[in-house]
């Protein structure tokens, strides 16, 4: 089981080496890893048994650091940051390339937050990287508000639990962003609608509140390339589209196809490694979208390990 303590120096060393550490915030405990390290981020998904690549929230020590990782902050959202940071508010902002696609599920915006807990703020000030930190619980279960909650459910998945006592808010952060000049609440949380509207005026609340910023749960078609994608058995699809082979691109789990130009096919993992396949998924779809092909043919993975998560994204990409 994980060690529990209040040692931020040890926590910083573990995080720097790529390990996961549970951290206290005023909302809930987070399962934290280096947000710039894809292996650490992937381990977060695996440890939580997360069924899909839900975007992760990135935690920083202060607003000055945010500009290192986002392109800009709209005036309305900057006003909210000034009013509520540090605190239970997450802002959805256009990300810089330094933030891996795995963190944002391939989306162009990243959720960022400055948490209001003295231990975690001190920890963040020691680090030269931000922390990706969803709630430190198995996916779908009640969020943890104490170190013992984390130990009970994820103690075997962690190197260390930073014990900051009971969470002050005990409710996840409110997620806010903007679309076409409109301030939008994507998830209700620790900062009330009324408090937000006192700063920026009337806001739009999405009808389905979700823990997933710009939630793929609200859209059947998502993560989709510009080119049409057809999902199925690749041998059958190749037969079906045999007269269009010059215009076809292939996204496979581990196979290669001699009849298709090498530039028009990507195997997510030639060794059949699910972790590698997950890391490569979004970049592979982008790569094939940039080819001269007019159609992308793809196959699902076995529904084991991270296969279920990868298939979820493939199905959304192929849905029309």
Q: What is the pLDDT of residue 271?
A: 96
* pLDDT for residue 215: 37
Q: Does domain 229-318 correspond to CATH entry 3.40.50.11030? A: yes
> What pLDDT is attached to residue 144?
85
pLDDT under 50: residue ranges of the chain: 209-211, 213, 215-219
User: What is the spatial distance between Cα 226 and Cα 204, in angstroms, rounded to a whole number?
Assistant: 29
**CB contact set of 133 (below 8 Å; sequence gap of 6+):** 23, 25, 30, 31, 32, 33, 44, 56, 57, 58, 59
Distance of CA 199 to the CA centre of its chain: 28
Q: Is 26:45 a contact under the CB 8 Å cutoff?
A: no
148 is an annotated ligand-binding site residue: no
187 is in an annotated binding site: yes
Regarding beta strands 182-187 and 30-34, do their DSSP bridges make them parallel or antiparallel, or are they unpaired? Answer: unpaired
59 is in an annotated binding site: yes
CATH assignment of 3-218, given 1.10.260.40, 3.40.50.300, 3.90.870.10, 3.40.1010.10? Answer: 3.90.870.10
Is 27 assigned to a binding site?
A: yes
| The pLDDT value given to residue 320 | 67
Give the Cα separation of 153 and 141 in Å (integer).
10
Structure tokens of 225? 């390339």
Q: Which tens digit of pLDDT belongs to each residue from 41-87? A: 999 998 987 655 678 999 999 999 999 999 999 999 999 999 999 99
Residue 223 counted as an annotated binding residue = yes
Domain ranges of the chain: 3-218, 229-318
- pTM score, two decimals? 0.75
- Tens digit of pLDDT for each residue in 192-224? 888 999 999 999 988 654 445 453 233 455 557
Residue-level pLDDT at 145 = 83
Contacts 24+ apart (CB under 8 A), 140-149: 143/28, 143/29, 143/172, 144/22, 144/28, 144/29, 145/28, 145/29, 145/170, 146/29, 147/4, 147/22, 147/24, 147/29, 149/29
313 in a known ligand binding site: no
Is 113 annotated to bind ligand?
yes
């Amino acid at each position: 089981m994980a060690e529990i303590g209040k040692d931020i120096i040890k926590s910083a060393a573990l995080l720097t080496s790529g390990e996961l550490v549970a951290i206290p915030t005023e909302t809930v405990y987070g399962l934290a890893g280096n947000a710039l390290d894809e292996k650490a981020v992937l381990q977060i998904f695996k440890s939580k048994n997360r069924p899909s690549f839900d975007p992760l929230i990135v935690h920083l020590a202060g607003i000055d650091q945010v500009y290192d990782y986002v392109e800009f902050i709209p005036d309305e959202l900057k006003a909210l940051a000034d009013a509520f940071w540090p605190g239970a508010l997450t802002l959805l902002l256009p990300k810089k390339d330094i933030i891996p696609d795995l963190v944002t599920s391939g989306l162009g915006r990243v959720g960022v937050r400055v948490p209001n807990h003295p231990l975690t703020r001190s920890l963040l000030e020691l680090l030269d990287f931000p922390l990706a930190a969803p709630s430190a619980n198995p996916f779908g279960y009640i969020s943890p508000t104490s170190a013992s909650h984390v130990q009970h459910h994820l103690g075997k998945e962690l190197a260390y639990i930073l014990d900051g006592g009971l969470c002050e808010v005990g409710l996840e952060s409110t997620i806010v962003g903007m679309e076409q000049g409109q301030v939008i609440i994507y998830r209700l949380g620790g900062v009330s609608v009324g408090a937000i509207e006192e700063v920026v005026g009337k806001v739009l609340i999405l009808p389905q509140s979700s823990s997933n910023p710009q939630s793929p749960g609200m859209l059947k078609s998502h993560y989709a390339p510009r080119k049409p994608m057809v999902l199925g058995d690749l041998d059958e699809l190749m037969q079906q589209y045999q007269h269009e082979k010059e215009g076809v691109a292939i996204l496979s789990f581990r196979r290669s196809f001699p009849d298709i130009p090498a530039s028009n096919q990507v195997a997510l993992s030639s060794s059949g490694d699910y972790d590698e396949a997950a890391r490569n998924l979004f970049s592979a779809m982008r790569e094939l979208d940039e080819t001269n092909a007019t159609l992308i043919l793809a196959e699902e993975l076995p529904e084991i390990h991270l296969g279920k998560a990868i298939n979820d994204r493939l199905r959304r990409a192929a849905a029309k």
